[in-house]
Amino acid sequence: MQRAASLIRKLKLPAGSDNPENRAKAAWKLAAGAKIERYTLASALVRGTLIIEVGDMIWQRQLYALRHHLLRNLTEILGEPLVTDLDFRPMLKRRGPQSAEAPRADGIADPVMSLLYQQSKKKLA
């Protein structure tokens, strides 16, 4: 019993979180290990299947081969067979933050035309 209590403390769950999905997601970090966890994300628990988002299809194939080992680790950490299967899915490419272009004072988007406009304004002044 002491072993289960120490494992639950390692999961670092928020207070009062009895939700099986949250427990399974938190246990994934320990079951997979630091190297695998860095490239994966436990996204949902659906009818006993933990859905894991992976970087690409190569990761998907490699982790599928390790599926039984990872399931055994999850069962040991959780203390019950909460997760019965793992589904590895390639993640969608996410776009990072983009900076907005500063609007030009003259309102001309083309840089060459804007330069010509600025030069012509200087000649008139």
Q: Is residue 114 over pLDDT 60?
A: yes
Distance, in Å, from the CA atom of 108 to the CA atom of 4, rounded to the nearest integer, reads: 67
Q: Is 53 helix (H, G, I), strand (E, B) or coil?
A: strand
Instruction: Give this prediction's pTM.
Output: 0.60
2-90: CATH topology is GMP Synthetase; Chain A, domain 3 (3.30.300)
Distance, in Å, from the CA atom of 114 to the CA atom of 125, rounded to the nearest integer, reads: 17
Strands, E assignment, 1-125: 40-46, 49-54, 85-90
Residue 69, pLDDT score:
92
pLDDT in tens, 37-84: 888 989 889 998 999 999 889 989 999 999 999 999 999 888 888 889
Cβ-Cβ contacts under 8 Å for 26 (sequence gap 6 or more): 11, 12, 13
Domain ranges of the chain: 2-90
Cβ-Cβ contacts under 8 Å for 67 (sequence gap 6 or more): 85, 86, 88
Mean pLDDT for 91-114 is: 73
The pLDDT confidence band at residue 8, using thresholds 50, 70 and 90, is low
Token pair listed for 5: 């209590």
Residue 111, pLDDT score:
81
Alpha carbon distances (Å) from 32 to 1, 38, 72: 23, 9, 11
Q: Is residue 5 over pLDDT 60?
A: no
Mean pLDDT for 22-50 is: 89
